[in-house]
Amino acid sequence: MSDTTAIIYLAKINALHLLKTLFHVIYIPEAVYDELIRQGDRLSGSKEVKLLPWIKVKKVDNYEHYTKKFSKPLDPGETQAIGLAIHINADLLIMDERDGRNEAKKQEIKIVGVIGIFQKAKDEGLILRVRPYLEKLRCETKFKMSPRLYKLALEGAGEWPAQEKAQ
């Protein structure tokens, strides 16, 4: 399960393939699909959600059944992603927005963000280091990552302090 921003950021840095390798299939709700294709193929991830067979759009007829007890309103993509995660009893929801993550936690949904995807990929031997992906996020996108979060991510990956030696 994924919301919109995870797909956008991973597509922007050419790392969307990590989702396929890690999870084989990613489900997205209709609102996420609509958000991604609304602007045509200009938005990162829009072509991919239309073409990649492992990204599947899943419809739930009555999201309100799942979302009526949310503590605050969320955008449609987040609302439907959480509702769909509840509906299909998803193992994991990929989401980075704070309000959405907080609501998913309240609904007892296991969540991971884009940075967590990199950690998982490293843990499974798909990538050697997390740092290059974090650098791409920082330099090539508008992903919000505080210096503290950057440091925590590298510590979690065993890459802080920097282990590189001057050449």
Q: Residue 87 pLDDT more than 60? A: yes
Which tens digits make up the pLDDT trace of 107-144? 999 999 999 999 999 999 999 999 999 999 999 999 99
Q: Residue 162 pLDDT more than 90? A: no
Number of domains in the chain: 1
Q: Is 163 exposed, middle or buried (0-12, 13-18, 19+ CB in 10 A)?
A: exposed
Q: Residue 22 pLDDT more than 70? A: yes
Domain-embedded: residue 145: no
Domain interval for residue 52? 4-114
pLDDT for res 67: 83
What CATH number did the domain enclosing 17 receive? 3.40.50.1010
Domain-embedded: residue 142: no
The pTM of the full predicted model, rounded to 2 decimals, is 0.90
Which tens digits make up the pLDDT trace of 2-17? 999 999 999 999 999 9
SS3 167: coil
DSSP string, 38-50: TTGGGSTTHHHHH
Domain-embedded: residue 92: yes
pLDDT for res 149: 95
> Worst-scoring range by mean pLDDT, 7-16, 53-62, 133-142, 155-164?
155-164
Domain-embedded: residue 19: yes
pLDDT for res 167: 32
